């Protein structure tokens, strides 16, 4: 719940609950004030700022990364993105991109060659159609049989380890979990189209090429799901991310947008 319509869905669920007075909502004060201050809701509330996702628990540049990702995915002009990317670089967080998958894999194998405990892995969207052509198994059958525990936890001696960059997790296997480094394979399910935005805008994101949902009647906003999926995938790395953009004409504008927001070309 919340992937499409946000926290308002939780409020709606409470309003429709048989006994809302039996529930207590724990959230940061700003969330409680915005979504759960309705006097018609008899549910109890408990404010806790440590539950705010902007609180930087694991790495000190989390807030800058969140803002950078938000700007990239919401269509701003890139100036703020370049500023934030430079700040992240100074802090030790590297954003890179390449059109060559082998180059991206070599980068991680070299960077973490002397760090056997480091975890880096391949991630991709579940709704993309073309990444399997590059040997990226983001399809349902491949990800369904994965064992996430060994993928995240095993060392290189295990064939299941994420460090081999063979198996892939999608937004569903990555949500709430982190790696030291992320190799994000960008798909055609979410592409930047120049000149496609509202009047005065330079372009807009499109999910027109994404796989259809099997139960599309239950999906309220497929575009919002793609935005949220890429938000998850872009924020899984502690040290940084390398974004592989397949060398396809329809992804040229996406590659240009990433560079326009401060992502450096690998090499």
Closest to 123 in 3D by CA, of 228, 239, 244? 244
Q: Give the global pTM.
A: 0.80
Cα torsion 89, 168, 194, 79 to 10°: value is -10
Whether 201 shows a pLDDT value over 70: the answer reads no
Whether 37 shows a pLDDT value over 90: the answer reads no
Give the pLDDT confidence score for residue 125 in this predicted structure: 97
pLDDT confidence band for 263 (50 / 70 / 90): very high
pLDDT confidence band for 39 (50 / 70 / 90): low
pLDDT confidence band for 2 (50 / 70 / 90): very low
Assign 264 to helix, strand or coil.
Answer: strand
Where along the chain do its domains lie? 8-51, 62-265
Per-residue DSSP letters for 207-252? -TTSPPPTTGGG-S-HHHHHHHHHHHHHT-EEEEEEEE--S-GGGH
Give the pLDDT confidence score for residue 213 in this predicted structure: 77
Q: Which residues contact residue 103 at a Cβ distance below 8 angstroms, ignoring those fewer than 6 apart?
A: 266, 267
CA–CA dist 244, 185 (Å, integer): 5
**Could you tell me the fold of the domain covering 62-265?**
Rossmann fold (3.40.50)
Whether 22 shows a pLDDT value over 60: the answer reads yes
Average pLDDT over residues 178-190: 97
Lowest mean pLDDT among 32-46, 119-133, 195-209, 243-257: 32-46
Helices of type H across the chain: 8-16, 29-35, 62-74, 79-91, 101-111, 140-144, 148-153, 171-174, 222-234, 252-260
Average pLDDT over residues 130-145: 94
Whether 144 shows a pLDDT value over 50: the answer reads yes
pLDDT in tens, 228-246: 999 999 999 999 999 999 9
Closest to 115 in 3D by CA, of 83, 57, 155? 155
pLDDT confidence band for 61 (50 / 70 / 90): low
């Amino acid at each position: 719940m919340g992937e499409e319509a946000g926290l308002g869905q939780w409020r709606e669920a409470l309003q429709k609950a048989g006994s809302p007075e039996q529930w207590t909502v724990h959230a940061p004060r700003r969330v409680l004030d915005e979504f759960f201050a309705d006097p018609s809701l008899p549910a109890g509330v408990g404010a806790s700022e440590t539950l705010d996702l902007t609180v930087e628990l694991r790495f000190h540049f989390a807030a800058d990364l969140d803002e950078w990702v938000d700007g990239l995915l919401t269509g701003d002009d890139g100036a703020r993105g370049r500023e934030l990317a430079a700040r992240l670089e100074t802090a030790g967080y590297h954003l890179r991109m390449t059109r060559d998958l082998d180059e991206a894999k070599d980068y991680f194998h070299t960077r973490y060659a002397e760090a056997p405990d480091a975890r880096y892995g391949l991630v991709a969207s579940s709704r993309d159609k073309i990444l399997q052509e590059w040997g990226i198994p983001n399809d349902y059958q491949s990800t369904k049989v994965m064992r996430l525990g060994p993928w995240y936890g095993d060392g290189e001696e295990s064939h299941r380890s994420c460090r081999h960059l063979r198996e892939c997790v999608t937004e569903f296997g990555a949500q709430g979990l982190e790696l030291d480094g992320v190799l994000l394979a960008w798909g055609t399910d979410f592409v930047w189209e120049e000149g496609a935005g509202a009047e005065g805008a330079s372009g807009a994101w499109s999910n027109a090429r994404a796989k259809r949902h099997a139960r599309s009647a239950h999906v309220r906003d497929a575009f919002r799901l793609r935005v949220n999926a890429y938000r998850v995938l872009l924020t899984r790395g502690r040290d940084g991310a390398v974004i592989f953009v397949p060398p396809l004409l329809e992804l040229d504008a996406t590659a240009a947008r990433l560079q326009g927001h401060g992502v450096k070309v690998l090499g």
